[in-house]
Amino acid sequence: MGGKVSLLLVMLFSGIMALFSGKIMDRNVEMTENYVDYYSDTRASNIAISAANIAINKLYLDKNWMTGISNRSFADGYMNVDIDTLGWDSRKITATGEYRGITKTVEILLEPENFALFGNFYNVFGSVWAATGDTFSGRFHANDWINCYGDPVFLGPATTSKGVKLYDKFSNPEFFGGTKVTDPIPLQFDTSAIRIAAYNNGRIFRDTTNTGKVTTVDLTFLANGNVTYRLKIGSGSYTPLITVPLTTLAPNGVIFVEKGNINVEGTLNGRTTIVASQKGSSSAGQVFITNSIDYAQNPLTNPSSTDMMGIVAENKVTVTYDPARGDINIYSSIFSQKDGLVIERYADYPTAYKMNLLGGIIGQKIQPTAKYKLINGKYVPINGYSYVHKYDDRMLKVRPPYFPATKYYRVISWYED
């Protein structure tokens, strides 16, 4: 009886196996095909990603690289890259990877890293020191040592190509965002982009006599959206004052003085970048801040404010000497290519005032702003201006019109199909 039952069970099992073996084989074939498809799909995707990274590296080394890649053999497949220009100098990379009939695509948008993203940027510290009373906000970078005298405060991340140097045992800087040693970032600026923008839909001031003289422009911004200006050529007389809406004077916001200087103050209602270029003259390319520069809507109290200024000097930016002025507000991102923010005769001020900065300073070198004295083991400013800085966080997304950018691109979006 037991033998018959065993035989019956064997026959039943064999029947079941015969019934399902075909389906099992079909399932195995399907799984193998899915694995092969997945492998090919992944391989094609990896080739596309590799092509995108190669293109990013090419653009990092050469900002003007537009050749792309055409049907290059790579990892038993093929890669292709197309480069397109968006706007003035942003780039779109379209990279594809092909493997065994499967094609994958990666699209990347890049833009130059704008200098307005920095709260402070200096090529050289030299013999100047960040000191007690100085407060730095936003990203801080120095292609040098960060020299600290007393107790300066750094609220954002600080990077340096050399490290932090303390003046003495009484120096105790505070780095709330930490410090890191990184490679130098080149301070480069090509005026052609801003100049072309000024010619296209902004405003150019220049020597209309074509005799190579320096042009001086006085600008006073008004809270109602107007700007009052006058100019003189060489040592001649000023023109009469003219008041017009900023949007009429420079629809795209760019005010460019070719081979000239700018005197500026007032309350800005709108967006502008003012530029002073040298064009071969050592006495040109300067911006002089004669009094406070404020915004009609202060973004510190009104985050929806759209008022924004950029100051660009191919030479330097100077706060003029005025002992009766007291505290001063400077709301702007400042780019000073060959110098820094200079406080004229800072040691001659009768006492120490506050220089309230909202925006950033990007310059060749940091300049002294005050005279200090050691009192009870602390360095205290006694003459000039303490540097009280707040980064304008809006500039992480929106910058002053055509403000200078670094030579390097940054990825702002990455899409894989």
- Structural tokens at position 149: 């005298």
Containing 54, the helix (H) or strand (E) segment is helix 2-61
Q: What is the pLDDT of residue 17?
A: 58
How far does Cα 182 stand from its chain's mean position? Answer: 17
**Radius of gyration over every alpha carbon of the chain, rounded to an integer in angstroms:** 31
SS (H, E, C) 339-397: CCEEECCHHHCCCEEEEEEEEEEEEEECCCCEEEEEECCEEEEEEEEEEEEECCHHHHC
- pTM higher than 0.85, yes or no? no
Identify the band that residue 257 occupies on the pLDDT scale cut at 50, 70 and 90. very high
Does 26 score more than 70 pLDDT? Answer: no
Q: What is the pLDDT of residue 10?
A: 56
Boundaries of every domain in the chain: 25-100, 115-405
* CA 406/CA 396 separation, integer angstroms: 15
Q: What is the pLDDT of residue 30?
A: 55
Buried b / exposed e along 306-341 (16+ C-beta atoms within 10 A): ebbbbbbbbbbbbbeeeeeeeebbbbbbbbbbbbbb
Question: 375 or 277: which carries more pLDDT confidence?
Answer: 277
In the chain, the percentage of residues whose pLDDT exceeds 90 is: 68
Does 411 score more than 90 pLDDT? Answer: no
Identify the band that residue 36 occupies on the pLDDT scale cut at 50, 70 and 90. low
Task: Give 273's strand partners.
Answer: 254, 310
Q: What is the pLDDT of residue 410?
A: 77
Lowest mean per-residue pLDDT among 2-16, 79-93, 316-330, 354-368: 2-16
Which range of 30-39, 104-113, 122-131, 316-325 scores highest in mean pLDDT? It is 316-325
- Structural tokens at position 204: 């150019």
Mean pLDDT of 252-276: 97
Identify the band that residue 1 occupies on the pLDDT scale cut at 50, 70 and 90. low
Identify the band that residue 321 occupies on the pLDDT scale cut at 50, 70 and 90. very high
Q: What is the pLDDT of residue 165?
A: 95
Strands, E, within 134-233: which ranges?
135-136, 139-142, 145-149, 153-154, 158-160, 163-166, 174-175, 179-181, 203-205, 215-221, 226-233
- Structural tokens at position 339: 């110098």
Identify the band that residue 14 occupies on the pLDDT scale cut at 50, 70 and 90. low
Identify the band that residue 144 occupies on the pLDDT scale cut at 50, 70 and 90. very high
* CA 214/CA 276 separation, integer angstroms: 11
